[in-house]
Amino acid sequence: MKILLIGDVVGSPGREAVKKIVPEFRKSSSIDFVVANAENIAGGSGLTPQTADELLNSEVDVLTSGDHIWKKKEIYERLNNDLRILRPINYPEGCPGRGHTIIKGSAGKAVGVINVLGRIFMDHVEACPFKTTLAVLEGLSKDTNIILVDIHAEATSEKIALGRFLDGRVSVVFGTHTHVQTADEKILPGGTAYITDLGMTGPHDSVIGRSTAPIIEHFLTSMPAKFEVAENDIELEGAIVEIDDKSGKALSIVRVKESIKDYS
The span from the CA of 167 to the CA of 7, in Å, is 21
The span from the CA of 199 to the CA of 14, in Å, is 12
Neighbours of 43 (CB within 10 A): 16
- How far, in Å, are 37, 48, 192 from residue 178 at the CA level? 12, 21, 22
One-letter amino acid at 82 equals D
**117 phi and psi, to 5 degrees?**
-105, 135
Q: Determine whether 68 is an active site residue.
A: yes
Helix axes 11-28, 49-56, angle to 10 degrees: 20
Neighbours of 76 (CB within 10 A): 14
- Among 68, 152, 177, 179, the one annotated catalytic: 68
Overall size of the chain counted in residues: 264
- So which residues are the catalytic ones? 68
